[in-house]
Structure 1
Amino acid sequence: MIWHQGNIGEHSNRRPFGITCPRDGSLNRLSVSTSWNARRLDRGADVVDSILSLGIGGLELSYNLERAVAKEAAARARERGAPITSLHHPCPMPQGFSKEQASGEIYNPASLEEEERSLAEKSLLETLDFAEETGVRIVVLHAGNIPDARESESEMAELFKRGDEAWIGLRDELLRERERRIAKHIDGLLRVLDKVIPRYERAGISLAIENRYYITDIPSLEETDMLLHRYPPLLYWHDTGHGRARACWGLEGEYDALNEFRDRLAGYHLHDAEGARDHRAPGRGDIDFSKVFRLGGTEGKALVLEPGRWVEEDDLKRGMVLIEDILARCVVRDPRGGL
């Protein structure tokens, strides 16, 4: 059962519908995530300069920046007057990991193992410290997963992409496995969030939970609703490619989360997808970004391009122009009243 936003009550922080095209201010400037270029560059200054050379306004510091690199990148952004719209946890990357190992789930906050949850909690607080140090107001979170399913999930995705209907049987198997195991993992996640969300709230920094790609990822649409209901300070972060993938798997409609959680939406990871093949430059797939912005709005929300590291610079520039053109023309109407 989906709790609708009216159930969240006085904490829902509703915003009026209407025209929501970008205005001046760092949250309304298009940004690019360092997930695009950090793996191939060693210096934080080079990471920032490479992104700003695109003509972009700002950047998101992602989970693939070692501590020294992240600090240098933040200093370079400040020097050049470029806003850092968000951090993607864990940022900086925990010590002992390489850029090749970088992941939004280096530590699984929904793990059944107390030690791993403690490490996830520690990294969330380290990211909070870095947000305070750099003046960033939004931290994006991957909320974990049910372990040991990635191989089956990847196989399902490849079968789907090849048009092999065998993917359906594998999906149904994964759904049954998820149903059997999910409760204990949600309990583990809540134990972590119960500790870290009050710390974020006291610091005046928003933690935003991202929609994810795979079936055994957390949260589902229903779980997102539960989490937003349980934690009034928690926000939602919408990844356009992940929304498409979850629609491909038949889990929910591509735009359902935007309809449900618009009033708690902190921002977007913007990338295109063809079927379930995501992290393409806008214009290299068939996601309807006009509809995304009509449903989710743009005013006061972070707009972060998150192309795959394989995306060519020229493609990314064309994608930026496409998104900027859509934003310049966007007029939002209340989706509950129809488009």
Structure 2
Amino acid sequence: MVSAATVRTVLGDVPGDALGVCDAHDHLFIRSARLPGQELADVASAREELRAFHALGGRTVVQWTPYGLGRAAGELAGLSRATGVHLVAATGLHQAEHYAPGAVEAVLDGLAELFVEELTHGIGGTGPRAGLIKVAGGFHGLDAHARRTMAAAAEAHHRTGAPIAVHLELGTGALDVLDLLCGEHGVAPRSVILGHLNRFPDPAVHREAAAAGAFLAFDGPSRANHATDWRLPDALAALVDAGYAGQLLLGGDTTTAQARSVNGGPGMPYLLRRLRPRLELAVGADVVRRMLTTNPAGALTVAWRAG
């Protein structure tokens, strides 16, 4: 059975035009073996971050935290109600190094079933339903773990219609991901969101990925090891000039407590407080509005299948 085309939020399915201004890639909660002691785990802090985002006009946040990394799925519905911000949760699996040894071995043989269950019935059986599948590539390549998780994501996509969001390590490997998901596994490019392209500002790769039909996410202020913020306006302007304005997404990708605005970092508000006006100077307010509203609605709206 196929349902009407909607976005699957933690409070239920809503039409795409209900999303408003969207942070298309961020995290309210995440715990990674690669970031010991930097967990996002505090509910009160997450609530304040959402309220700060809402105060600037933000109305939707897409949490890309997948299975096994402290999603706090049971907290998401309450946070959405308390702040007035739509939340979209993720299923999926990250790179192996983000998990403690032995943490995911039990689910590897049934990944597609796990993803479908969380998309159609709920995270953990009783939590909200996920609205997208998050997987990850490696640095300039795809290892066996990435190929396994992406094959499972493709199967779950075909069974449910869910979009697939891809962490590109330092922004690399976009074309390899499209070859695998779309070429080998038959996923429509428009169902794929390629993340972190701001971290690898190669205009030829950006344009080829856009020409294939995928959504391109430029998410998060620069970190010390990929200081590319200054290139972002030009990268987006080039894609807009080439006719790809309808495939561009913006996000914040807050992954540590120190990065939250309530703790003195840029956090979710940075997207609207600082990045939006910079990009409006480069491509115009109407195009930026499209990146924040129409485009994420298009990327996330699905004619859901029962699985």
Taking structure 2 as the reference length, the TM-score comes to 0.49
Q: If the length of structure 1 is used for normalisation, what is the TM-score?
A: 0.45
The structure whose Rg is larger is 1
